[in-house]
Amino acid sequence: MIKKLSIVIPGVRTHNWEKLYNSIANSCKNYTFEVIFGSPKKLPDVFENKSNVKFVRDFGSVSRVLQMSALLAEGEYVTWIFDDGVVREDELDNCIQFIENQVDKCIVGMKYTEGVDFQPDMRAFVDEYWTAWHHLDLQLPGIERHWKLPIHMLMKTKHFYQLGGLNCKMEHANMNLHDLGFRAQRDGFEVHISKNFVIDYNIRHGRTVENSNVIAAYYQNDKPMFQEMYLKPQTNVPASINYDNWKEMPCVWERGKLGTFDME
């Protein structure tokens, strides 16, 4: 059976995976889905007989693992979720139902909350939060004022591949998700932000460059690279990149000494 939605989950918090999977099933009741976990750890036994679960084992960076794992996607649509989150009931159904009635080149940016012990950052409840120029560090010459901010994108899988997915030179899945969303909008994609919040994240307190490799990647590599890219207008820059760019990245992430992906 052809599945409607593929959900890619790169992570190491395997103790959270069953809860996250169950929340996905509770959120996507009306459509078929598959979950593709990517991790340097082993797949928990609880998923051994789940026919809609796939697994990729790799020791590379977050972006490399996400990009590799998405190659297994068989759904018409693809999205990604991280394993310190849970999905709200019925909201994946709502997003799929919405995008099914839109133009072909469409992305739904699924709103999410994040905070310590799931306490949400209230700034995300303002509509302007989901526009690029609402954020000072995104007010750059290469970013249009009207562009939306669809970090958690629900989009057709074929379009994810055509755009080239993530720029895996950025090691985490953060600034390169901004880049993907901006490249898509430069290419004429319509972006709609979901009416409701879809995902809630529990962010660990006390993460620093010294103890978290995703924080270290953000400050030491990803943010500087992103800002250099967008310090100039992007009008003559192709919207699509080479999807296989993940192959150019190390198969073992050098920042792993800080704890693979992040503190567990």
pLDDT digits (tens, 9 = 90+) for 129-188: 999 999 999 999 999 999 999 999 999 999 999 999 999 999 999 999 999 999 999 999
When pLDDT is averaged across residues 114-122 and rounded to a whole number, the result is 90
pLDDT band at 258 (very low <50, low <70, confident <90, very high): low
Q: Report the chain's mean pLDDT, rounded to a whole number.
A: 94
At 199 the pLDDT is 98
pLDDT tens digit string along 31-41?
Answer: 999 999 999 99
Q: CATH number for the 5-233 domain, one of 3.40.50.300, 3.90.550.10, 3.30.450.40, 3.40.50.620?
A: 3.90.550.10
Contact 161, 148 (CB under 8 A): no
- Strands 5-10 and 33-39 turn out to be parallel
Residue burial 53-89, b: 16+ Cβ < 10 Å; e: rest:
bbbbebebbbbbbbbbbbeebebbbbbbbbbbbbbbe
